[in-house]
Amino acid sequence: MNNKTQPVRGTHDHLPEEKIHYNYILSTALKVAKVYGYQYMETPIFEFTEVFKKSLGNFSDIVSKEMYTFRDKSDEEVTLRPEGTAGIIRAIISNGLTHQMPFKALYSGPMFRYERPQKGRLRQFHQIGIELIGTLSPEADVEVIACGHRVLEKLKIDKYSKLEINSLGNPDDRKKYKEVLLKYLKSHKNKLSIESKKRLDTNPLRILDSKDIGDIEIIENSPKIDDCLEQNSKIIFDEVKKGLDSLNIKFVLNSNLVRGLDYYGHTTFEFTADKLGSQNAILAGGRYNNLMKDMGGPDLAGIGWAAGIERLMILTPLCKNENKIVSVIPVESKYNEICFKLTEDLRKNFINTDISFSGNLKKRLSYANKIKSKFAIIIGEEEANKNASIIKNLNTGEQIIVKYNEISKYLIKTL
């Protein structure tokens, strides 16, 4: 087969059955987030490149290696969004919504990163996320994490997941910690992986997230950020932990949890699942108190998370096709007109209806079973003369005669 008829490496077709699974996960997450008061909004899939450089940091892996950036016909540099938070913050600023605080945003859609494709990692992937803007309260951190926990619980994958949390403290805490960490890592420079050596002078915190076996051994004995946190940062983190305990949300402390984006500070968290291998984060996020200010807006704090839908699909049991299709079957072509009219009447009532266009009765019933119809409405000479039809339950084989003007009412009640 010609390579040009294959999807681009790192992209994936969601075929009908898979899309049912995708939509189930998305609708469940949206429903939970809306219960928590989040309002759905959408931003463009591409932004001016500066939006992401300002928010993610020039030395983050995303900006330095993974963004799909190009110049359009107006010679403007634009980038396909690699994550959702920066676009949401930009939209709040540019649409004058900064006075509506606190602001709870809910979003979903495709994201793009040029990464090495592997299980749970695609170059075009889909996320659902929430952002809570305008409050510094530790209780807001707890609520955001609780919302993520509830999503996983409703998807019945909370039993596979583990919540890890950490505090990155304030900017002064991180500056102090980077100095201590850098001194330690440089003393082991010769044993670090090539990738971690590159990060020493640009983004040393990211070394803590390395999956290299040699790096992991060095990191185990590295200084911990806890020792560099100011008293106020410790108090904030203690409040978050108390809040999670009060909701019976179990967590483990992970002092190496730094997340991949430069804008994070104070609370960071990940829900992970071992079934996904090294790319095990399924829902993750943290607090970003300076992001809006850094992007040219007012000094408003925020916290949020994002979940990868494709990763959730790996863990979530496949859901059955619940379309509950009804197949209308004319026994002969001379009854097509009656069947077409009946089909449209059913569709007006939002009954998922299919009509067979050719073949004998046996073939048409076979097709109805193939597309998993629940009922077949059969109209032949006898039925047409009585202004009625046979309604056959394709699961049980039972059938009854129903008048034309009663069919919609009967199906709505039965379905």
Supply the pTM of this predicted model: 0.85
Mean pLDDT of 160-178: 92
Q: How many CB atoms lie within 10 A of CB 212?
A: 15
Contact 363, 314 (CB under 8 A): no
Longest dimension (CA), the chain: 93
Tell me the C-alpha distance between 77 and 66, whole Å. 15
The pLDDT tens digits of the residues spanning 1-29 come to 556 788 888 888 888 888 989 999 999 99
Q: Which residues pair with 399 in a beta bridge?
A: 392
Q: What is the mean pLDDT of the chain?
A: 90
Both structure tokens of 96: 């004058």
Tell me the C-alpha distance between 264 and 287, whole Å. 6
Give counts: helices (H), strands (E), the chain: 15, 16
Tell me the C-alpha distance between 251 and 270, whole Å. 10
pLDDT at 331: 92
Q: Give the pLDDT band (50/70/90) at residue 261.
A: low
Phi, then psi, of 366 in degrees rounded to 5:
-60, -40
CATH 3.30.930.10 fits 3-170+230-315, yes or no: yes
Query: Which of 385, 389, 381 is CA-nearest to residue 405?
Result: 389
The pLDDT tens digits of the residues spanning 228-244 come to 999 999 999 999 999 99
Query: Which of 169, 173, 184, 89 is CA-nearest to residue 132?
Result: 89
Please say if the pLDDT value at position 193 is more than 60: yes
Q: Which residues pair with 161 in a beta bridge?
A: 273
Q: Which residues pair with 109 in a beta bridge?
A: 127
Quickly tell me which residue has 């019933």 as its tokens. Answer: 365
Angle ∠(97,99,100) on CA atoms, nearest 5: 70
The pLDDT tens digits of the residues spanning 281-293 come to 899 999 999 999 9
Tell me the C-alpha distance between 126 and 259, whole Å. 19
Domain with CATH 3.30.930.10 in the chain: 3-170+230-315
The pLDDT tens digits of the residues spanning 39-61 come to 999 999 999 999 988 777 655 66
pLDDT at 169: 93
pLDDT higher at 231 or 372: 231
Q: Which CATH class is domain 325-414?
A: alpha beta
Mean pLDDT of 316-322: 70
Contacts (Cβ under 8 Å, ≥6 apart) of 396: none
The pLDDT tens digits of the residues spanning 111-127 come to 999 987 777 678 999 99
Domain with CATH 3.40.50.800 in the chain: 325-414
